[in-house]
């Protein structure tokens, strides 16, 4: 398979998970989301990667959280008056993003929650709720 921007981001994401670095994983989820959106991929897939990045940033208190929330807020604006096709719960999010080889969001989120971060469902609902508020103005 030739290296495309999407494939490059998938490999970078896989490498970040292999290294166990949640901030790198978050950044690569966001980069992959951007590449997929630019290529016209299914919105539910690229938005899931955007949510995954935001969840990891929320759990770790990462500096890129406001940027990722802004990106998610734009999805509410772009899909208005309908709700954007975001995963309903953490298990649905995991099912989508773990289709990328080497992505282990479930395990990483569990480890972060044991270190004092929010649990997966709590983090997902928090970031989606904050993005919705941002979109509302």
> What would the pLDDT profile of 99-137 be if each residue is shown by its tens digit?
999 999 999 999 999 988 899 999 999 999 999 999 998
The tens digit of pLDDT for each residue in 54-83 reads: 999 999 999 999 999 999 999 999 999 999
pLDDT at position 2 is 56
pLDDT at position 1 is 46
What number is the average pLDDT over the span 36-57? 97
Q: CA 28, CA 136: separation in Å to the nearest integer?
A: 27
Q: Check if the beta carbon of residue 109 is closer than 8 Å to that of residue 55.
A: yes
- Identify the band that residue 49 occupies on the pLDDT scale cut at 50, 70 and 90: very high
pLDDT at position 79 is 94
- As to burial, measured by CB atoms within 10 angstroms (0-12 exposed, 13-18 middle, 19+ buried), residue 61 is exposed
> What are the backbone dihedrals phi and psi of residue 130, each rounded to the nearest 5 degrees, phi first?
-65, -40
The tens digit of pLDDT for each residue in 81-95 reads: 999 999 999 999 999
Q: CA 131, CA 126: separation in Å to the nearest integer?
A: 9
């Amino acid at each position: 398979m030739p290296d495309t921007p999407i494939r490059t981001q998938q490999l970078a994401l896989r490498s970040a998970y292999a290294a166990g670095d949640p901030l790198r994983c978050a950044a690569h989820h966001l980069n992959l989301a951007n590449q997929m959106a630019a290529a016209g991929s299914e919105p539910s897939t690229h938005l899931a990667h955007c949510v995954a990045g935001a969840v990891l940033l929320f759990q770790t208190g990462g500096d890129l959280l406001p940027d990722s929330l802004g990106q998610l807020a734009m999805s509410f604006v772009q899909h208005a008056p309908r709700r954007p096709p975001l995963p309903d719960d953490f298990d649905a999010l995991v099912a989508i993003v773990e289709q990328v080889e080497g992505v282990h969001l479930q395990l990483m989120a569990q480890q972060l929650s044991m270190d004092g971060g929010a649990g997966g469902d709590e983090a997902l609902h928090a970031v989606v709720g904050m993005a919705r508020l941002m979109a509302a103005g």
